[in-house]
A and B are shown apart, each in its own frame.
Chain A
Amino acid sequence: MPELTTQIIFYVFAALVVGSAALVVLGPNLVHSAFALLATFFGVAVFYVLLGADFLAGVQVLIYVGGILILLLFGVMLTHRIYGVDLKTETLQFWPGLAVAVAVLVTIVGIIYRTPWRQMGFAGFEGPTTSSIGELFMNEYILPFEAASVLLLIALMGAAMIVRRRSDL
């Protein structure tokens, strides 16, 4: 892919990601925020593609957009009648909060440009990653793979238990 095209795609989607994230955090309308989050997730998926992580990009779209975002939308819609109600009480005022966030951002950016991040060229990233990732899951990473299934079981049972109405099931 020609260099300029890649750069254009990166900058456009970087702007999209940052802009929509700002809308998520600053926007007054919760439903608008949820849809802005959708744009953020898609933008991140594009970054993954640019970084050569094609399988991960697919997972991002499937799970973040197709799962988590849908859940969040349900959450927004089902509780909208009390959306004016504060479900969380310890919050900072906006300006001090912004000051903290900006300070953190400046610190991180300073660190990014001063730190000797490890640089290693790796040719294996050209091409599809799915089979390599699959192999890794079955060999080196099989323990976390199985552990994650226990996690999913707990989350499934727990979420279902908390939400259901009949208590003798």
Chain B
Amino acid sequence: MIPLEHYLVVSAILFSLGLLGVLTRKNAVNVLMSIELIFNSANINLVAFSRFSSSDFSGQIFAIFVIVIAASEAAVALAIVLSLYRILKSVNLDEATALKG
């Protein structure tokens, strides 16, 4: 039997890697991939806790909903990236800096 902590450590590493990607990567699609890492890390937690810490399947059910939500967000995010790409392409490759901090 693999102890609970092992799963938690792996998900912690995934979460940190995802965070690193969000903080340091410049390409939007790459950031999106990092965000998916974060979602997966939370899901591993949920399923592991469902197995070890709870008396029902609620963690697994939550994980299923997270997957659904992640799919919706990915679809919308990629639609936005594509839309922005179309505009930038026609405006002579430039950074997305029209909005300043």
Contacts and interface: CB of A to CB of B under 8 A. Distances in A.
B2 A6 contact: yes
Interface in A33-56: 33-34, 37, 40-41, 44, 47-48, 50-53, 55-56
A82 B93 contact: yes
Q: Which of A47, A97, A120 has the most C-beta atoms of chain B within 10 angstroms of its own C-beta?
A: A47
Q: For this complex, into which size category does the number of interface residues on chain A fall?
A: 35 or more
A117 B52 contact: yes
Contacts of A151: 68-69, 72
Given A10-B2, A90-B101, A79 B68 contact: no
A37 B33 contact: yes
Interface residues of B, number: 78
Interface in B41-76: 43-44, 47-57, 60-61, 63-65, 67-76
B15 A82 contact: no
B61 A133 contact: yes
Contacts of A98: 20, 24
Contacts of A158: 76, 79
Interface of A is mostly: helix
Contacts of B19: 100-101, 104
A71 B53 contact: no
Interface in B1-32: 1-2, 4-10, 12-21, 23-32
A67 B12 CA distance: 25
Interface of B: 1-2, 4-10, 12-21, 23-34, 36-37, 40, 43-44, 47-57, 60-61, 63-65, 67-76, 78-85, 88-89, 93-97, 101
Interface of A: 3, 6-7, 10, 14, 17-18, 21-22, 24-26, 30, 33-34, 37, 40-41, 44, 47-48, 50-53, 55-56, 59-60, 63-64, 67-68, 71-72, 74-76, 78-79, 81-83, 85-94, 97-98, 100-102, 104-105, 108-109, 112-113, 117-120, 122, 125, 129, 132-133, 136-137, 141, 144, 148, 151-152, 154-156, 158-160, 162-163
